[in-house]
Amino acid sequence: MLQVQEMEVSRLRPWEDNPRLNDGAVDAVARSIESFGFNVPILCDQSGVIIAGHTRWKAAQKMGLNTIPVIVLEITETQRRAFAIADNKTTEIADWDFPKLQEILKELGKEEVDLPSLGYSRAELEALLIPQEDFDWAAFDLKTDRATEARIVLFPVKISFEMKQALGEAVAQYAKEHGLRGKNVPIVAGKVFAHLLGFSS
């Protein structure tokens, strides 16, 4: 049976070749730990190298925690690397039932749960919880009229989470094909939409 033990944060070491980019999730994980506690132990090998839980470890450092729950696995280096990849990849396979998710989020909101502590950004929560028809187009048109000299406006668009990765890949591919590396991402996204709709961009 796996044993959970309290270990000093400083005794753990990250996997130096970890291909998972997790810095952007540290703040969200820290908020989750603050709200619900450190309830998911970190997995490490017998040398203290983290197998699963790099983001939680970084969040613990940011929060100034001295000890955190850890499970130590006796594992070879090959097994450690393979398991670390599998642990990250398998979390991407499952999908959301978005109507059910929306209902649960609404219920939790009524119960005064801090929804951003669940890991969603403000923009994601808005996309999930505010119907498209509630958007104030009159205010948007007024703002647009006042910004004509800028020649660029921010146009509100909602997409499903299932489309998020595909759209990101399309934006990146379009930018690469048209030499737009390093350009402002919203501008590139606008060009992609215009291209897909058959407009000159």
Pick the CATH number of 4-90 from 3.40.50.720, 1.10.4080.10, 3.90.1530.10, 4.10.220.20: 3.90.1530.10
Q: Over the stretch 49-96, which tens digit does the pLDDT of each residue have?
A: 999 999 999 999 999 999 999 999 999 999 999 999 998 888 878 778
> Which long-range contacts (C-beta less than 8 Å, at least 24 apart) are formed by 192-195?
192/167, 193/157
Domain ranges of the chain: 4-90, 95-130, 131-201
Q: Over the stretch 130-185, which tens digit does the pLDDT of each residue have?
A: 765 555 656 655 555 554 455 556 666 667 666 777 777 777 777 777 777 666 66
* Ramachandran region, residue 108 (left: φ > 0; alpha: ψ -120 to 50; beta: rest): alpha
d(CA 150, CA 53): 45
